[in-house]
Structure 1
Amino acid sequence: MLEFLGSVTGSPWLYGVIAASVLLDVFVPLLPSGVLVVAAATAVAGTTATTATTTAAGAADLPDQARHAAESAHVPEILALVLCAATASVLGDLVAYRMARRGGDRFDRALSRSRRLRLAQERLGRALAGGGGALVVLARFAPAGRSVVSLTAGAAHRRAKEFVPWSALAGLTWAAYSVSLGYFGGRWLGATWLGTAVSVLALFTFGTLAAYALRRKAEDAGDGREAGQPAHSA
């Protein structure tokens, strides 16, 4: 797979697949969009190393200059990966936000069928109310956190200007982090399955920590709300 990704690095077809995967995983969180972004960045790191080796072989007395030249040549591809993933992330968030905002009773009925999603929405809604937009960025890394945030914002009829800037920051942060993991992991460990696996593991580890932090924030918000409720007399 890495060899294939390396052969199509820079191709519009590759960016199209990545954009579609990232856009759609707001509705199907099981899609491996993060893994695909990391693998593509690892493949770019592999082509960088290959280019540097080939160039240095023809100019053995200038290996450092050859390496820097190879790295500079692939900067546009790295930036394109980040912008592609971030743009698709924001567009997917907006689609989910608009669907939930316009869904009305139909969305509420669909949500009520999933106890797990309903509880997650309630908890995250409390967390967002207490923690502000910064939690939107954190939720982008948590499994299904992006979906819950976008749907919650739409269902709660939050204004677009309150949601979109944080969604854009979340998408850009996630994309830059994922691409950086893949690229630097590929440079340090090699553009192999090992390098990709370590980078993906780091991505999922951070996602797990983000999910834990969100749960704690939601629980604290829920406890605070309950503590603030007046006691009812018998």
Structure 2
Amino acid sequence: MDLMPLVAPLMTSPLLYPLLVGVSTLDGVLPMIPSEAAILAAGVFAHGGTPSLWIVVVAAALGIFLGDHLAYGLSRSVFGPRLISRFTHVSRAVAAASRQLDRRPTLLIVTSRFLPGGRVTMNAACGTARVPLSRFTPASAIAALAWAAYTAGLGFLGGAAFVESPVLGLALGLGLSFVIGGIAELVRRRSARREVRPEDSPVAGRGLTPPHGPTPGRVREGACH
């Protein structure tokens, strides 16, 4: 079934922009909403001149920004921990993210946007860890604009590659998004393993004093007292 006759009128309608704001906002708390596909499709059609690529990016970024703060507010409220604890996988991911927020929170918030499931997890972690809005809001704005431009840009490239077939352009954009997201996730996991290795080193396992621990001289001084 060819969906283009149904999709094309929407993609060339002024209603597209508020729709992008809406789906991008709801996607912040309901990940099953296909905001990425909608932004990609808008980017594909933007190659033809309508809709405007720049307005697509701004509308999507605005929705993402609002959705981030909606998720942040919910997770910071009394209902947040209760909702998160109902999903074991989510609660573990949020706990792991929360432990890293004391280091480079802005970088984590921005880069998590490009990881599968990273947006919801990091926003929930920021809320439960009570990251100040003075730090969360600027990072969310940067992340929202970067991800909106990235996603719409992938769609635009797909539309340029398959001018006569928007479906193939959308498929190319989705494929590139999955590949780049998968590579980013692999890099993140390798980095996380490297950070864990020093704690699991043979020196720590044998009960030997690590290099940064107290020196023998200091131990003897404590014994003399």
TM-score range, shorter chain: 0.7 to 0.9
Query: Which position in structure 1 is the counterpart of 2:98?
Result: 125
Q: More displaced, 188-197 or 148-157?
A: 188-197
Give the partner amino acid of 2:161: W
Give % identity.
29
Distance 1:110 1:224 in 2: 34
Instruction: Please give the secondary structure, in 1, of the residue aligned with 2:102.
Output: helix
Q: Is the 8 A contact 2:28 2:67 kept in 1?
A: yes
The structure with higher relative contact order (CA 8 Å, sep 6+) is 1
In 1, the alpha carbon distance for the partners of 2:119 and 2:7 equals: 26
Query: Residue 15 of structure 2 aligns to a residue in which SS?
Result: helix
Whether the 8 Å contact between 1:29 and 1:143 is mirrored in structure 2 is no
Could you report, residue by residue, the CA deviation over 1:127-176 in whole angstroms, capped at 9, with x for unpaired residues?
A: 44344321211211222211111111111111011111111111111110
Distance (Å, rounded) in 1 between the aligned partners of 2:146 and 2:16: 21
* Aligned: 1:196 with 2:170: yes
The answer as to 2:144 corresponding to 1:142 is no
1:24 maps to: 26
Q: Tell me the equivalent position of 1:41.
A: 43
Contact kept? 1:139, 1:211, Cα under 8 Å: no
User: What is the aligned partner in structure 2 of residue 90 from structure 1?
Assistant: 65
For residues 138 and 83 of structure 2, the distance between their equivalents in structure 1, rounded to whole angstroms, comes to 28
Say whether the 8 Å CA contact 1:19–1:85 is kept in structure 2: yes
Counterpart of 2:87 in structure 1 is 114
Query: Are 2:29 and 2:70, in contact at CA under 8 Å, matched by a contact in 1?
Result: no
Q: Is the 8 A contact 2:28 2:70 kept in 1?
A: no
Call closer, same or farther: CA 1:212–1:28 in 2, change over 3 Å. farther
Rg (Cα) greater in structure: 2
* Offset, 1:85: 0.4
The offset of 1:224, in angstroms, is 5.7
Question: Are positions 1:215 and 2:189 aligned together?
Answer: yes
Greater per-residue helix proportion = 1
Residue 219 of structure 2 aligns with which residue?
A: none
- 1:80 pairs, out of 35, 55, 60, with 55
Tell me the distance in 2 between the aligned counterparts of 1:107 and 1:122. 13
Task: State the SS of the aligned residue for 1:12.
Answer: coil
Report deviation, 1:17: 2.0
TM-score calculated relative to the size of structure 2:
0.79
SS at match of 1:129: coil
Structure 1 moving runs of 4+ over 6 Å = none
* Aligned residues of 1:2 and 1:43 also touching (Cα < 8 A): no
Q: Is the 8 A contact 2:25 2:66 kept in 1?
A: yes
C-alpha distance in structure 1 between counterparts of 2:107 and 2:133, whole Å: 16
Indicate if the aligned counterparts of 1:126 and 1:221 stay in contact, CA closer than 8 A.
no
In the aligned structure 2, how far is the partner of 1:17 from the partner of 1:118?
A: 31
Q: Does the CA-based 8 Å contact 1:127-1:214 persist in structure 2?
A: no
TM-fit CA distance, 1:183: 1.1
Q: Is the 8 A contact 2:115 2:185 kept in 1?
A: yes
Instruction: Check conservation: 2:101, 2:126, Cα contact below 8 A.
Output: no
Amino acid at match of 1:215: R
Query: 1:87: Cα distance to partner?
Result: 0.6
The total of aligned residue pairs comes to 202
